[in-house]
């Protein structure tokens, strides 16, 4: 597996990471603990060194899973986790608001260290920008945690360009994690130029469009009642039917390259910038191997032009998030 550095930092990780969320949260019932551990260790065996989790996934159970799975190889891997939510595990919806107060960030750091069975968090992201706490206070708190040896790198998730600049002045931001894929290209407008200018790495989540770009989801697909795609406008049956045009296009291109649609979607991301590291997640070993195979696919400039030209003719239907969730991004 090739390695990449996240921006100007010295944080070197595998070119494709592993998003652990779906093992515990978001896409239906959590996998059995032993199966989750086996999946994470299978990724390590295949060269993955970058694992993404958060206290909010579960809540808490995903960090515990990641901590146990990676304990035997802790010195060989990079673990990213996140702070910034107010959580109530007893509520039907455990995420009850935002909370990036300095004292809360510290509480989360200590709890995450325990669950992850480690003495340092490699990359600590603010999960969503909290409008009630100046980003300078957030960055300053993480700067202190870095000085204390509890955190190595500071990250932001779904932050807007101005917030990224303000945070970076206080504590250099190593990476931004936001959604980016062939069917969500908004970061190209304002965000990526800022990342390039400041030397910040980019970690796209949902690089396969929450599974849609694999070609395995259509208008008739039924999601588990706990699957959060049920509430996403882009995933209504009628929008799925309309959006299949993009998947068909990627599929045709994949056939020419003797690859799968998922591999082309990931290879396209890797070809955008050398400081981009996507973090697809999966619960299936064959999907893990398929995803990692994308790192070996080289797309020439002409391939990328052809793919983007065709994709630009397809207007993706449906917003990414319902309105209340969309308000939390790009601040």
Assess whether 57 carries a catalytic annotation. Answer: yes
Res 293 pLDDT > 90:
yes
Element (H, E) at 238: helix 237-256
What pLDDT digit, counting tens, does each position of 166-190 carry? 999 999 999 999 999 999 999 999 9
- Give the residue from 27, 168, 35, 20 showing the smallest Cα distance to 80: 20
Element (H, E) at 178: strand 173-179
pLDDT of residue 91: 83
pLDDT band at residue 106 using 50, 70 and 90 as cut-offs: very high
Domain boundaries, the chain: 3-326
d(CA 79, CA 11): 11
User: In this predicted structure, what is the pLDDT of residue 86?
Assistant: 96
**What global pTM score does this model have?**
0.98
d(CA 274, CA 162): 23
pLDDT in tens, 67-94: 999 999 999 999 999 999 999 988 878 9
Strands 12-14 and 3-5: antiparallel
237-256 and 261-272 helices, crossing angle to 10°: 80
Distance CA 1, CA 79 (A): 17
Using CA atoms, how far apart are residues 108 and 126, in angstroms rounded to an integer?
Answer: 11
CATH class of 3-326: alpha beta
> 29-41 pLDDT, tens per residue?
999 999 999 999 9
* 59-97: burial string, b at 16+ Cβ within 10 Å, e else: bbbbbbbbbbbbeeeeeebbbbbbbbbebeeeeeebbee
Q: What is the pLDDT of residue 90?
A: 85
């Amino acid at each position: 597996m090739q390695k990449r550095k996240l921006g100007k930092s010295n944080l070197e990780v595998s070119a494709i990471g592993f998003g652990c969320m779906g093992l515990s949260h978001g896409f239906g019932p959590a996998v059995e603990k032993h199966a989750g551990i086996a999946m994470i260790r299978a990724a390590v065996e295949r060269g993955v060194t970058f694992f993404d989790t958060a206290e909010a996934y579960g809540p808490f159970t995903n960090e515990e899973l990641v901590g146990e799975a990676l304990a035997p190889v802790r010195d060989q891997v990079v673990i990213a986790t996140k702070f910034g939510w107010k959580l109530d595990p007893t509520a039907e919806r455990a995420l009850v608001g935002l909370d990036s107060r300095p004292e809360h960030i510290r509480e989360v750091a200590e709890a995450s260290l325990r669950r992850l069975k480690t003495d340092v968090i490699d990359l600590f992201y603010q999960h969503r920008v909290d409008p009630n706490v100046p980003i300078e206070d957030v960055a300053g708190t993480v700067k202190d945690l870095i000085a204390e040896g509890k955190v190595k790198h500071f990250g932001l998730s779904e932050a807007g360009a101005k917030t990224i600049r303000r945070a970076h002045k206080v504590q250099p931001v190593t990476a931004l994690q936001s959604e980016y894929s062939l069917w969500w290209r908004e970061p190209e407008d304002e965000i990526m130029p800022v990342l390039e200018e400041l030397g910040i790495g980019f970690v796209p989540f949902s690089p396969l469009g929450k599974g849609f770009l694999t070609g395995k989801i259509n208008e008739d697909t039924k999601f588990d009642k706990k699957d959060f795609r049920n509430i996403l406008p882009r995933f209504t049956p009628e929008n799925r039917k309309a959006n299949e045009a993009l998947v068909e296009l990627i599929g045709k291109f994949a056939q020419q390259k003797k690859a799968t649609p998922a591999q082309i979607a990931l290879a396209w991301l890797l070809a955008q910038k050398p400081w981009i590291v996507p973090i697809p997640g999966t619960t299936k070993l064959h999907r893990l191997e398929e995803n990692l195979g994308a790192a070996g696919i080289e797309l020439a400039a002409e391939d990328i032009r052809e793919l983007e030209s065709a994709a630009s003719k397809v207007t993706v239907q449906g917003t990414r998030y319902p309105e209340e969730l969309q308000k939390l991004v790009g601040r």
